[in-house]
Amino acid sequence: MRYDGGWATLERCMITFFLLGACTGIQTLPDGKFDDSAVTVDSGESGGAVDGSLSAEPASLDFGVVGIGSTQGMNVLVKNTGSEPFPLEITVRGDSAFSTSTSSTDLDGELVVNVDFAPDAAGSYTGKLKLTGGDYGNVDVPLSGSAEASTDGPNISVNPTTIDFGTVDIGSSAGQTILVENTGTADLMVSEVRFSNNVFSNGGGSLVTPQLIGPGKNKVLTVNFGPTSTSRASGDVTFVSDDPDQGSLKVTVSGSGLDACDICQPLLSVDTGGSDPYALDFALVTVFGMSSTSTVTMYNDGDQPLQVSSANVSNDFLASCGTFSVTGFRASTIQPGGQSSFDVTWRVTGSCLDVEQSSIGMNILEISSNDPITPYTIKLSGAAI
């Protein structure tokens, strides 16, 4: 009799025969050939076929629609069709909403395996119950279910649920909006908005907590991302409300910083209206009680935001014939390439010359900012007759 079934199968059979004393499943075809597809190798420790097999009913579990925050349980009947117990490993894979309280055990006869479905957000869920019996067989029971929020009472909904800011220059910021809506039938109270990472912040909008949102109404929150490094940043924006199903609803946020600057700092420059940006000389004032006003314009020549905090005048109190003062100044942030202005007024009180005395800190204007060289000092002078 001739064998044409394939050398790989023959070798497996011969090796198994010498080690275990068993090689079954080789069948002879009518033309004298062997049926390679029918060859099986007994891998049982006893050298023979195992006693029994693993089975499960039902073949799948569909939990249907379950309310958010609720738990639904279903059972699977697992059977050992043989007379000898064997080790059974029980695990659940897939979405974490599925779980089992039944521990792995030696299966002898029948066993009821409990599976729980506890969704924490709206959507569809899938998983599988894995029953591993080794030589006695392995069974996967597919799991499925979905969840939806109750429409009775207040119900919070946010859009989008994830935000990726992409790449943003370090030192600057970018903003995106989140629509917060009440899709329920009663007033929704949003009591707080929390940020898990301080590079993400509240950028304003119509949602100001505590905020009452009526049924079918919505509010908008702007989220700002201001990176401080080039590393990837992520976090959560959590909306705390009196929604009975979703009292803390999270929006996932992420983004990366980009170090794209050349100067990498703010630079303050000033235009006093004259040829010297560090001096302000008032025209001749001839009448007591009169005044003269000049405009000072500040520029940011750097590539990072310039934060101007103060503009203060120090007058000469020893031999003064006038008083210098600042009007129209407001602490502000000047973006790269931007500008801001304020006025300096000299009011005459006597006939003399008011000259700068910067060496002793008199008749000067000091502008303080986050420019590395601060304060910016302007010498003040004037003549009165």
**How would residue 171 be classed by pLDDT, with cut points 50, 70 and 90?**
confident
In a domain, 263, yes or no: no
User: Within a domain: residue 64?
Assistant: yes
The whole-number pLDDT of residue 88 equals 93
Residues 64 and 17 in one domain: no
Domain end, chosen from 93, 118, 148, is at 148
Cβ atoms of 253 and 163 closer than 8 Å: yes
pLDDT score for 264: 80
Quick: pLDDT tens for 6-21: 444 444 445 444 444 4
Q: Are residues 356 and 283 in the same domain?
A: yes
Residue found under tokens 């702007």: 222
Contact status, residue 276 vs residue 186, Cβ threshold 8 Å: no
Better-predicted residue by pLDDT, 283 or 135? 135
| Number of domains within the chain | 4
Q: Is-cis flag, bond preceding 160, omega within 30?
A: yes
Flag whether pLDDT at 310 surpasses 70: yes
195-254 tens-digit pLDDT: 999 999 999 999 999 999 999 999 999 999 999 988 999 999 999 999 988 899 999 999
Are 355 and 253 found together in one domain?
A: no
Quick one: average pLDDT of 345-370? 88
Summarised one tens digit per residue, pLDDT across range 25-63 is 444 444 443 343 333 333 334 444 566 789 999 999 999
pTM: 0.41
Share of the chain above pLDDT 90, in %: 59
Q: Which residue has the tokens 């020893």?
A: 318
Q: How confident is the model at residue 141 (pLDDT cuts 50, 70, 90)?
A: very high
Q: Give residue 132's pLDDT band: very low, low, confident or very high (50, 70, 90).
A: very high
Tell me if 120 sits within 8 A of 68, measured CB to CB.
Answer: yes
Lowest mean pLDDT across 161-165, 232-236, 257-261:
257-261
Domain boundaries, position 70: 54-148
pLDDT of residue 290: 83
Q: Is the dihedral of CA 351, 357, 358, 360 positive or negative?
A: negative
DSSP string for residues in 135-151: GG-EEEEEEEEEEE---
**In Å, what is the CA distance from 305 to each residue of 100, 317, 340, 350?**
55, 36, 13, 42
Beta strands 248-258; 162-169: pairing state: parallel
Domain end among 258, 290, 318: 258
CA 114-116-118 angle, 5° bins: 175
> Each residue of 114-131: pLDDT tens digit?
999 999 888 899 999 999
Where residue 185 sits, what CATH number does that domain have? 2.60.40.10
pLDDT at 150: 66
Task: Give which of 222, 230, 167, 233 is closest to 199, Cα–Cα.
Answer: 233
The residue-averaged pLDDT of 146-154 equals 80
The number of residues in the chain equals 385
Which helix (DSSP H) or strand (DSSP E) does residue 176 occupy? strand 174-182
Task: Assess whether 106 and 141 both reside in one domain.
Answer: yes
Q: Considering only the C-alpha atoms of the chain, give the largest distance between any 2 of them, rounded to a whole number of Å.
A: 135
Q: Quick check: is 137 in a domain?
A: yes
pLDDT tens for 175-185 read 999 999 999 99
Return the structure tokens found at 367: 């502008």
Task: Look at residue 2 in the predicted model and tell me its pLDDT.
Answer: 39
Residue-level pLDDT at 299: 97
Mean of pLDDT values over 93-105: 92
**φ, ψ at 7 (rounded to 5°):** -65, -30
